[in-house]
Amino acid sequence: MRYFGTSCPNAKVVLALVTIVLVAAAAAATHPGTWTAREDLPEDLYFAATAEVNGIIYAIGGSPGAGVVDTVYAYDPQIGSASKDVNSPLSFDVWSTRAPMPTPRAMTGAAVINGKIYVIGGAIDSSDFAATAAVEVYDPATDLWEGLTDMPVALWSPAAAAVDGKIYVIGGGAGDALGESSVFASVHVYDPASDSWDTATDMPTARAILGASVVDNLIYAVGGKSGGESIFSSALEVYDAATDTWTTGADMPTVRDSLATATVDGRVYAFGGLAFRSDGPLMVAQEVEVYDPGTNSWEQSTLMPDQRWGLGAAVVDGTVYLIGGGQNATVTASRFVDTYDPNLYTSWTDVAAHLSGAHGSQWQTDLCAANFNNETANVILVLHTDTGAHEHLDTIEATRQKAFQDVVGQMGVDGKGLLRIVSDQPLRMAGRTFNKDGAGTFGQFCDFRTMDDGFFSDDEVWLIGLRQEEGLFRTNLIFANTGLRKATIYIELFRCSGGSPLSTLWVADLMPGEMRQEIEPFAILAGEPNLGWGYAKVTVVEGAGVRISASVIDSRTNDATTIVAER
């Protein structure tokens, strides 16, 4: 591990200096939430039951899109952990198969008590959604299943939560989940000690396909399908098992069902789901919203890298694992597994460089990061290049700034790439990528943004004010993928007068972490080296967090101006 950079305790002096050279570049990484792609499931699945036992995550049953399955997959997310599974040790970041569930099904409720996973109810067919009352328990320590006493009623997609040694099965539905169906407000209580069922006070709002999470022994029932084909709910209702009473909390901002919920640090996180927008058809929600029981309020956290519904969630060491789910508003399952860490902050800048320029000049990037918090910030800088990712670990003391001069060169890289900055504290950052020679420097600011600030599937954006004139001005286009999966973009080049495109360029494989620079596309691709002024239209066909910009360079001085794409 190498450490570099300089710290300055006199923040006023440093900030005054930064204002002169970096005034346009200051940006804040104050938006929490960091996404990481993990090993895919072995098969496409939605509405699988998910649970965590002793740090191991289990995905049970579900539907691949047609029919239902009995498969059980186990996953160890922790490097070097000692698995408690019967087939210990599991390989890190790899899914393995366990004993199948006796009753194939999807849309179940699941909860963990004393290290065993209880799987309750569900749909045994994905065409007519016939519900089952089956209850089965899986013991990871022995890799064995056991049948238990059925629920009093057959239901699909109830929510299940464990409190004080009992499982509370909340709501659920019967009938065709895609058409005529009934949803219920019932609360059934299962006692594993006696293998018996009881009832509790009904939930105020009848719902199915809802989420449920526990904070301080209170069960938070969130969202769901509240009846009919398209009636979604935003309700948040709180059940206190100690008093057998319900209270109503603040509605979730996004009305949706088929969502996943998880508890981290005493707050309830809601991910994805299906929703109707006020101005359009059925959509897949991409929002992550956070409920704070202490203030009875919601806030927007971030956007998911992929639109997903019918996904599962499990939490290990404060990180949420989101498993499978439908990719769009049709019956299309996925095998994606992503993690969301609500306590890390991530920002990106498109181009960081250390490489030779024209006429003997040198390109380089300087970065400053300020930690205006009361705790030391642990920072990871990751440069994504054509040859792989290069990492540097560092710290920034509380209430101080650190300067990383020629950051790419200090990382030992001769080249350029997409720079990612991850920290456990919110940072304010500024930077400049510039060209220098004996006469001085000419440069442009580094724009630090989160993945959310990029462009997503179906976005159409514009780059205006581009120039291409031999010996005077040249334009390069820059595309970067800060998402978790491949992005596809379609580029069209135009002269000022508009009309038909001069040229089109199909970029089929902009991989995660990839930065691509198209050098002088007006001259090379469109055959217009003396175009004068022009513009470009870029369509994001698929992907998330796609950053799009242009660099207009004065060929006489190598002075570059950044133009950022706009919707």
175 with 275, same domain: the answer is yes
Confidence of residue 249 (pLDDT cuts 50, 70, 90): very high
Length of the chain: 567
Q: Is residue 315 scored above 60 in pLDDT?
A: yes
- What number of other Cβ atoms are within 10 A of residue 239's Cβ? 25
pLDDT of residue 360: 78
- Say if 337 falls within a structural domain: no
pLDDT of residue 87: 44
The residue with greater pLDDT, 476 or 79, is 476
Confidence of residue 2 (pLDDT cuts 50, 70, 90): very low
Q: Is residue 91 scored above 70 in pLDDT?
A: no
Q: What is the pLDDT of residues 343-390, one digit of tens each?
A: 999 999 988 999 987 777 788 999 999 999 999 999 999 999 998 999
pTM for this model (two decimals): 0.90
419 with 384, same domain: the answer is yes
174 with 224, same domain: the answer is yes
- Say if 73 falls within a structural domain: yes
pLDDT of residue 279: 57
**Which residues make Cβ contacts (< 8 Å) with residue 327, sequence separation at least 6?**
284, 306, 307, 308, 333, 334
Q: What is the mean pLDDT of residues 138-148?
A: 97
Lowest mean pLDDT among 26-40, 223-237, 284-298: 26-40
Q: What is the pLDDT of residues 156-181, one digit of tens each?
A: 999 999 999 999 999 999 987 666 77
Assigned token pair, 466: 């581009």
55 with 199, same domain: the answer is yes
pLDDT of residue 441: 81
Comparing CA positions, the residue from 40, 182, 168 lying closest to residue 113 is 168
Q: What is the pLDDT of residues 44-58, one digit of tens each?
A: 999 999 999 999 999
Last residue of a domain, one of 399, 428, 445: 445
280 with 409, same domain: the answer is no
The whole-angstrom separation of Cα 472 and Cα 490 is 28
pLDDT of residue 406: 94
Omega of the bond leading into 89 within 30 degrees of 0 (cis): yes
Note down the domain range covering 462: 454-564
215 with 325, same domain: the answer is yes
Confidence of residue 230 (pLDDT cuts 50, 70, 90): low
pLDDT of residue 27: 53
The whole-angstrom separation of Cα 530 and Cα 532 is 6
427 with 493, same domain: the answer is no
Q: How many structural domains compose the chain?
A: 3
Q: Is residue 103 scored above 60 in pLDDT?
A: yes
Strand intervals (E) in 192-266: 196-200, 211-215, 218-222, 225-227, 231-232, 236-240, 245-248, 260-264
**Distance between first and last Cα of the chain:** 41
- Say if 37 falls within a structural domain: no
Q: Is residue 5 scored above 50 in pLDDT?
A: no
Helix and strand element counts for the chain (H, E): 3, 47
Q: Is residue 259 scored above 60 in pLDDT?
A: yes
Q: What is the pLDDT of residues 522-551, one digit of tens each?
A: 999 999 999 999 999 999 999 999 999 999
Lowest mean pLDDT among 116-120, 197-201, 302-306, 309-313: 302-306
- Say if 110 falls within a structural domain: yes
235 with 101, same domain: the answer is yes
Q: What is the mean pLDDT of residues 396-411?
A: 96
- Say if 336 falls within a structural domain: no
439 with 468, same domain: the answer is no
CATH number reported for the structural domain that contains residue 297 in this entry: 2.120.10.80
CATH number reported for the structural domain that contains residue 397 in this entry: 2.60.290.11
Q: What is the mean pLDDT of residues 259-287?
A: 87
273 with 124, same domain: the answer is yes
Q: What is the pLDDT of residues 417-455, one digit of tens each?
A: 999 999 999 999 999 988 888 778 877 788 899 999 999
The whole-angstrom separation of Cα 88 and Cα 81 is 10
- DSSP three-state, residue 310: coil
pLDDT of residue 74: 97
Mean pLDDT over the full length of the chain: 89
Lowest mean pLDDT among 62-66, 83-87, 484-488, 514-518: 83-87
Q: Is residue 407 scored above 80 in pLDDT?
A: yes
- Say if 57 falls within a structural domain: yes
- Say if 479 falls within a structural domain: yes
Cβ contact 313:271 at 8 Å: yes
234 with 114, same domain: the answer is yes
- Strands 415-423 and 460-468: what pairing? unpaired
Q: What is the pLDDT of residues 108-123, one digit of tens each?
A: 999 999 999 999 999 9
- Say if 38 falls within a structural domain: no
